[in-house]
Each structure stands twice: as C-alpha cells, then as structure tokens.
Amino acid sequence: MGAIKIMTDSTADVPKRVREQHGIEMVPLKVLFGEDTYLDAVTITNNQFYERLAKSEMLPTTSQPSPAEFMEAYEKVLASGADNSIISIHLSSALSGTYQSAVLGSNLLDAPGDITVIDSKSASYGCGMLVVKAAEMVAAGESKEAIIAKVEEMIQDRRMYFLLDTLEYLQKGGRIGKAAALFGSILNIKPILTIDGEGEVMAVDKVRGTKKAMQRIVDLLKSDFGSDPIEMTVGWTHKSELALELAALAQTQLNVRNIRQTEIGAVIGTHAGPGAAALFITRV
C-alpha cells in the first residue's frame, strides 16, 4: 500500500513547522504589489507582507496557482512512490479559482493518479484544520476513505469568526465606502465576519467596542457548540494581542480541549488588515 500525501495551498495558513512535521505539500498563491510578484509564504513572509501592506496606498492583488503548477506539484508527489495517492484540500471555490485550478491540474496528468481534490468551503485555518486533521489521520494509519469522510464531516461542522480591528482595509478593497469606514472608526465599530456553509464571506454583526465584540463571538460559539468539547485555533493578522485576548475569553466559557495558534497570511490579511483576530472551531 502506497503512502497518502496531503496537499493544500498557502491560504490554509498551516504553519511551516506543522507542514514539515506532517509532510504536507503546499502550493503557493501569488501576491502582487503593482509589478512586484511574490509567492505567498515562500518568497514573502507574513511580516514582510504586513509591513508593505501598511505602507501601500492600494491593496495588493492575489492570483491562484495555474493548473500547470498544480499538475507539476502532483507529478512530483506521485513520482516519489509508485502507489502514492493524494488528498488535496483547498480554499473555498466561492472565494477563489484555486480549487478549480487544482481539479484541472489533476486532469492534465499524462498518467491518471489517485488524486482527490476537496473544496474546503472555507479559508485560512478553516481550511488548515482540515488539512492538519487529514495529515494526523495519515500518520495514524487511517485509510484514504476514512480521511475523506472525516474531512467532509468537519466541513459541515466547523465554525469560524473573524473580528476586525479596523474598517480601513474593507474600505480600500471597495467592500464599504470611505464615509462608512470613517463613521465606523469614530464610533469604534468592530465588524464580525464568518464563512458560511457555502464558503462565502458573511457579515454576522457589527458591535460597538472591542470587549463587546469579543463577548459576542464567544456567545455565538456557545450557541453553536454549547458544552461540547471543542478544538480551537486562534489566528491573527500580524498583531497577536487581540487574538490572544479573545482566545483567553473563549477558554473561560467554552469546553476547550485543545488550542493551537496560527498567523493569518496575505490573502485573507489583504482585506482584514493587521490586528484582525479569528477563532476556528471544530468538535473533538
């Protein structure tokens, strides 16, 4: 029986040390500041990205890997073992063409490979938690069928909430007008976003004040999970203080059995801006 290889893209925000620990292959998206092009998490670090984002008048743009780039990544993995198979988990197809590129790349192979491409219907560590769980199941000797079934179960059950520190980057990205951003900043309005079951970004609430917004997120999670045991990953864009405070609050009111940390990368960070916080939750 050949090895099962887990693959993803850079938007899953799986820390490099975790990818190396589990042998997870990552195909990067591209980040473009004008004419300067970088491979996300490869030729530009998160710190470098956020430092440049803060100085940039215009938002950077991003682009997904091409089908040919996915094909090359799949060929490399398949060539390393005659019986290798791949589970490739990617950013929501409602937010990016990355999933479609992965599917097309798998179809371009000269010799058909045992490749399953999965739409996470999620973003950042909402996708990353699926990737890491799949890799842990590979290490535990689980079958490909069992891994795919678990990933599909988690897609239906996961929750995530993003708390934005500023409206500036939503305004820069054309999501809200300049007047609304100014008014919201004056009133200390904190937007809470999520990604719904179809993989679309959705506004959950707008709360005045950071403390009230954090408690609102915890209340939402209590409604979602009650006293069920959960795994929680806390994520942030460049500055960790708000995120760690939010995680500490959640731990006092939820049945958290395991907690992890990650930094949210360039693609989500482009619109969320520095200082955003996120909680990614699944049942144990």
Tell me the two tokens of residue 151: 């990933």
Output the pLDDT for position 49: 96
Instruction: State the pairing for strand pair 277-283/159-163.
Output: antiparallel
- At 111 the pLDDT is 81
Q: Is the pLDDT of residue 2 over 70?
A: no
Residue span(s) of the chain under CATH 3.30.1180.10 come to: 159-283
Q: Which CATH architecture has domain 159-283?
A: 2-Layer Sandwich (3.30)
Q: Which pLDDT band, with edges at 50, 70 and 90, does 179 fall under?
A: very low
What region, left, alpha or beta, does residue 199 occupy, with left being phi > 0 and alpha being psi -120 to 50 degrees? left
Task: List where CATH 3.40.50.10170 sits in the chain.
Answer: 4-29+64-156
Confidence of residue 271 (pLDDT cuts 50, 70, 90): confident
Q: Is 244:214 a contact under the CB 8 Å cutoff?
A: no
* Cβ atoms 238, 244 nearer than 8 A: no
State the number of CA atoms in the 13 A half-sphere of 279 facing the CB.
34
Where are the strands (E) in 120-224, listed by range?
159-163, 189-195, 201-208
Average confidence (pLDDT) over 59-80: 94
- β-bridge partners, 230: 256, 283
**Is 0.95 topped by the overall pTM?**
no
Q: What is the CA radius of gyration of the chain?
A: 19
What is the pLDDT of the chain when averaged over all its residues?
91
| pLDDT computed for residue 58 by the predictor | 85
CATH of region 4-29+64-156: 3.40.50.10170
C-alpha to C-alpha distances, 31 to 62, 197, 266, nearest whole angstrom: 5, 27, 7
Which residues 6+ apart lie within 8 Å of 128 measured at CB?
8, 12, 13, 14, 233, 262, 280
As to burial, measured by CB atoms within 10 angstroms (0-12 exposed, 13-18 middle, 19+ buried), residue 160 is buried
**Per-residue pLDDT tens over the stretch 218-268:** 999 999 999 999 999 999 999 899 999 999 999 999 999 999 999 999 988
Residue 178 is predicted with a pLDDT of 54
